[in-house]
Structure 1
Amino acid sequence: MTRSYPTAHTTQIQNSRLRVLNKIKAGEFPLMTFMALPSVRMAQIVALTGVDGIIIDCEHGHIGDEAMHNSVAAISSLGVSPVIRIRGPAHDILKRALDTGAHGIMVPQINNAEEARQVVASSKFPPQGVRGQGSAFPAIGHALTTPEYMKSANETIVTMIQIETRAGVENVEEIAAVDGVDLIFIGPNDLAQSLLGYVPARGDEPEFVKAVDKIINAARKHGKWAGRMVNNGTAAKEARERYDTVAITGDTKAIQNWYMAEFDIARS
């Protein structure tokens, strides 16, 4: 498959700050997690756990523009890769997220190749895309000057596309073929709801298994990385055989799980 431009897969640019990109290119299975709470302190606490990337959840999380900017700054300053899951594929939302200095973006519920192409166009500076430049902030998250950032961003920011709808599964071959899409990420809960009508999936439903296989195969066929969300470390370890990265649940679930387990012990 020929490419007109370098991408995160083919870039020769070296930047030690880009932890997720560097680990995934080296086949080291970077671990990520979601963050839904709008707190610099939460960002710092999670960043110091040994995680490689933190997905700042601006789709389902309680995170607005100010918290998004503050979280990216806190996470990147501690040597961890901030990734922003935006609330939709609109150009202005993508531009705003990237201007924080995020090392990657995750775009939910992509249904077809045209939507994927629009995401790529909005996330790349010309001539590859239509992203505008006007902020001093994005370079800071990459520890670069603005001119250095402008030269490197198109091929070092990891563009992640989520497949989590029936239409996305049906069109995943065409989506994965889009130049500039770097990683196909499975959202298992929305995918289960779309295909099965309930959440969570048991994981052995034939339609669900077939859809997951189709997504992974499409990613591999077109030279893209594959990832998904998992609920715990055991599931993450098992996923190493099929995926290049995973996100292990998130801050709100981690807090609830710890408290519930400890309260159960205390009351037993």
Structure 2
Amino acid sequence: MGDISYPTAHTTTIDNSRMRLLNKIKAGEFPLMTFVAIPSVRQAQIVALTGLDGIIIDCEHGHIGDDAMHNSVAAISALGVSPIIRIRGPAHDIIKRALDTGAHGIMVPQINNAEEASQVVQSSKFPPQGVRGQGSAFPAIGHGLTTPEYMKSANETIITFIQIETRAGVENVDAIAAVPGVDCVFIGPNDLAQALLGYTPANGDEPEFVQAIDKIEAAARKHGKWFARMVNNGTTAKEARQRYDTVAITGDTKAIQNWYISEFEVARS
């Protein structure tokens, strides 16, 4: 599980200006993120130039393979934005592969219990905290560091996002949030609604859904972890500022479609 006395993303004193998302969330500045599902270095650059702080490269549900994952991280980090990779599951080799791109963090979906969360932390930290191996020149580049500098700093500057989106995840959220090295508890509202209510999206006022979010927030706050979620637009993001430390505002596929749909409606009206 790792020794709690080690510095984490919450307590690190390392100052690296390249770590935009970490620096803003630590300063309480409510950084903004979005998901990118389309595998293109140009797509990554275009989204990175919109003024956001972090881009979540979606290797779970997106059309992103290994090659696009590497290219996107390089492009995003070079433009001063923090690339986060949402991996497809909590497997050691997948976590290693994602972090070796130079990502500033990982997001791990469908975490059900503390044991799974601990394994994620183990895989994402170099010894003595974890079991991550080193053998790539690439991750240091994404942090603007030499490899020795990266080796010394990565354990306490990479943000580990754990997604709570299953019934078991909600039930065990206190133990999950207690795991040292879990930095941020992230709500996947659509999967959470599907798991709890049997449909998605939630209206947002269903008692079981509201209680689950309250429980997740309480666990995050109790254990001093950041609390985040996905939202649909800037208006809901603004409302979320009172409660959350950071949000991801939808993703590239929806953003493109939504803009075209609304403009075509205007054109035809």
Partner of 1:180: 181
1:53 equivalenced with 2:54 (yes/no) = yes
Partner of 1:211: 212
1:17 equivalenced with 2:33 (yes/no) = no
Matching residue's letter, 1:149: Y
Q: How does 1:62-77 map to 2 (within 5 A)?
A: 62-77=63-78
Partner of 2:203: 202
| In 1, Cα distance between equivalents of 2:4 and 2:170 | 24
Matching residue's letter, 1:118: Q
Partner of 2:263: 262
| In 1, Cα distance between equivalents of 2:5 and 2:221 | 20
1:231 Cα deviation from its structure 2 partner: 0.1
Match of 2:90, SS state, is coil
Note the residue ranges of structure 2 that are not aligned, 5 or more in a row: none
1:80 Cα deviation from its structure 2 partner: 0.1
| In 2, Cα distance between equivalents of 1:220 and 1:4 | 19
1:4 Cα deviation from its structure 2 partner: 2.0
| In 1, Cα distance between equivalents of 2:38 and 2:213 | 29
Match of 2:103, SS state, is coil
1:3 Cα deviation from its structure 2 partner: 2.4
> What per-residue deviation string (whole Å, max 9, x for no partner) do you get for residues 154-201 of structure 1?
000000000000000000000000000000000000000000000000
Matching residue's letter, 1:86: I
| In 1, Cα distance between equivalents of 2:242 and 2:198 | 28
Matching residue's letter, 1:6: P
TM-score, normalization: structure 2? 0.99
TM-score, normalization: structure 1? 0.99
Partner of 1:223: 224
Note the residue ranges of structure 1 that are not aligned, 5 or more in a row: none
1:88 equivalenced with 2:86 (yes/no) = no
Partner of 2:137: 136
Match of 1:138, SS state, is helix
Partner of 1:107: 108
Partner of 2:9: 8
| In 2, Cα distance between equivalents of 1:168 and 1:149 | 32
1:95 Cα deviation from its structure 2 partner: 0.1
> What per-residue deviation string (whole Å, max 9, x for no partner) do you get for residues 109-155 of structure 1?
00000000000000000000000000000000000000000000000
1:20 Cα deviation from its structure 2 partner: 0.3
| In 2, Cα distance between equivalents of 1:248 and 1:102 | 19
Matching residue's letter, 1:125: F
| In 2, Cα distance between equivalents of 1:30 and 1:120 | 23
Matching residue's letter, 1:196: L
Partner of 1:168: 169
| In 2, Cα distance between equivalents of 1:213 and 1:253 | 27
Partner of 2:28: 27
> What per-residue deviation string (whole Å, max 9, x for no partner) do you get for residues 82-103 of structure 1?
0000000000000000000000
Percent of aligned pairs with the same amino acid = 85
